Amino acid sequence: MENYNDVLKHIGLRFRVERTKRMLSQERFAEIANVHTNYIGKVERGEQNLTIKKIVALANSLDIPIKDILNF
């Protein structure tokens, strides 16, 4: 069974990996996703509680399947 904090860190790491694969800065990712740059930083560090709706929106902004973010 996964710990809540571990799950947030995993999701954040997956977003960071996918963002860097696309050679996007946090600033550019934030622009595409229509969120603040600080929000992206918190997500990637596993500090931001994410709703399913926000996970879907962020994944869509990177044009990746949700399963790639949630795959453990």
- Residues 32, 36, 38, 39, CA torsion sign: negative
Which pLDDT value is given to residue 41? 98
Q: Report the number of distinct structural domains present in the chain.
A: 1
The pLDDT of residue 1: 55
Q: What is the pTM of this model?
A: 0.92
User: In this structure, is residue 54 part of a structural domain?
Assistant: yes
Residue 13 forms part of a structural domain:
yes
Find the Cα–Cα–Cα–Cα dihedral 22, 34, 7, 72, rounded to 10°. Answer: -40
pLDDT tens column, 15-58? 999 999 999 999 999 999 999 999 999 999 999 999 999 999 99
Query: Is residue 18 domain-resident?
Result: yes
On whether residue 38 sits in a domain, the answer given is yes
pLDDT-derived band at 66, boundaries 50, 70, 90: very high
Q: Output the pLDDT for position 72.
A: 81
Is 22 within a domain?
yes
The CATH number for 40's domain is 1.10.260.40
